[in-house]
Amino acid sequence: MSSLENVIAAETRLSEVDGLNGRLVICGHSLDALAGQKSFEAVLALLLPDVLSTSEEAVRAELAQARLRAFREVARLDTDLVSLSVTEALRALMARLPDGEDKSVALLQIAAPAVFVPALIRERAGQKPIPPHTGRSHAADMLAMLTGNQPVEEQIRALDIYLVTVSDHGLNASTFTARVVASTRAGYASAVLAALGALKGPLHGGAPGPVLDMLDAVATPDNATAWLAGEISRGERLMGFGHRIYRVRDPRADALKTALNRLGAAGGMDIDRLALAEAVERAALAALRAAKPDRVLETNVEFFTALLLEALGFPRDAFTGVFAAGRVGGWIAHAHEQIETGRLIRPQSVYVGPKAA
């Protein structure tokens, strides 16, 4: 009860997470029909037809303009902010953006993480932030702002698939947070800021950084079984495995694995790293099956997120921020949907404290 498990807290037209069959549907399209088939901008048009434009091209142009607006905030970066982790600095920067419930606020919120994350990574590395370019797609521009170079097609495709794959996922912790805040009519910026806080936790969007820590600690495929057994015997959770809703494999893990394999085939991924990850995945699934035979614990989205974002050149402390760059579409769409209901979210609690004298 304390985790609201199985409680229905909203009706949504945005996404359906079918945990028994391992299927994710976003606005009537299964993930298979979206990842690698439709761009992030096209998915935003599906998620937010009443707020943004309804065509991919128009959303692409609107989002590009919003990236330019977000970049103005980068000029105000100071050393205190840059010394924070990328995720915490992103939260601080997002807090400076204007609030409200109109289209321009929504667009700026959706654009900003893709601009702030690369700028923060570069500043922390002592490099000058690269301004956005309106001629590029959102994914291509995010990569160009990270490296200063024109990304190759397979890299753009991989990041675009990632942004689409994580764009929305039912009433997960951060999306629920966004809906609660939006229901108070605080505005999109407040809803996104609160959601960002929820996303940061390792049980939600903060897992991919620790996935790489795990791969580093395992170091060689031969070591995987013994290392993972040690973690499980100490009662540790294996990052990138298990899910509250999925009782089978997370379909997002497969979408990202396919993208990773393509990136590997195009030379954009260290093949030894991929082999290590596959050995760790196999050993982890075997160890989890042995430790929890009554509960299906499968690979979740975060495992392959870690490898994909690493291969694209993002440092691990920025992974949650890149996740936010995709999920922000879902947050704003849910915030909008909640505002449309006109109802404040206000559940009740059962008092179990001492009786009043």
For the record, the structure tokens of 312 come out as 């694209």
Member of 301, 311, 312, 328 binding ligand ACO (CB under 6 A): 301
Which of 41, 62, 302, 310 is flagged as catalytic? 302
Residues 97 to 126 in contact with ligand ACO, rule: CB under 6 A: none
Residues 175 to 214 in contact with ligand ACO, rule: CB under 6 A: 203-205, 207
Q: How far is the CB of 8 from ligand ACO (least distance, A)?
A: 17
Judged by CB under 6 A, does residue 316 bind ligand ACO?
no
Judged by CB under 6 A, does residue 289 bind ligand ACO?
no
Dist. CA 148–CA 158, nearest whole Å? 18
Judged by CB under 6 A, does residue 22 bind ligand ACO?
no
Which of 138, 169, 243, 334 is flagged as catalytic? 243
Burial class for 245, CB neighbours closer than 10 Å (0-12, 13-18, 19+): middle
Judged by CB under 6 A, does residue 219 bind ligand ACO?
no
CA distances to 302, 304, 313 from 230, in Å: 21, 22, 30
Comparison of 38 and 243: residue with beta carbon closer to ligand ACO? 243
Member of 136, 138, 200, 243 binding ligand ACO (CB under 6 A): 243
Q: How far is the CB of 292 from ligand ACO (least distance, A)?
A: 5
For the record, the structure tokens of 129 come out as 């932030």
Which residues lie closer than 8 Å to 334 by C-beta, 6 or more apart?
Answer: 10, 12, 14, 168, 175, 178, 179, 182
Q: How far is the CB of 57 from ligand ACO (least distance, A)?
A: 30
262-265: long-range contacts at Cβ-Cβ below 8 A with a sequence spacing of 24 or more? 262/154, 262/157, 262/158, 263/154, 263/155, 263/158, 263/308, 263/311, 264/311
Contact indicator for 348, 186 with CB cutoff of 8 Å: no
Member of 72, 96, 185, 295 binding ligand ACO (CB under 6 A): 295
Q: Does the active-site annotation cover 302?
A: yes
Q: Which range of residues in 81-89, 149-157, 183-191, 292-300 is near ligand ACO by CB under 6 A? A: 292-300
Judged by CB under 6 A, does residue 91 bind ligand ACO?
no
Judged by CB under 6 A, does residue 329 bind ligand ACO?
no
Member of 113, 240, 268, 329 binding ligand ACO (CB under 6 A): 240
Q: Does the active-site annotation cover 298?
A: no
For residue 9, give the nearest of 190, 138, 178 by alpha carbon.
178
Comparison of 2 and 349: residue with beta carbon closer to ligand ACO? 2
Comparison of 86 and 108: residue with beta carbon closer to ligand ACO? 86
Q: How far is the CB of 239 from ligand ACO (least distance, A)?
A: 5
Q: How far is the CB of 207 from ligand ACO (least distance, A)?
A: 4
Q: Which range of residues in 55-63, 179-187, 216-224, 287-295 is near ligand ACO by CB under 6 A? A: 287-295
Which residues make up the interface to ligand ACO (CB under 6 A)?
203-205, 207, 237-244, 288, 292, 295, 297, 300-302
Catalytic residues: 243, 302
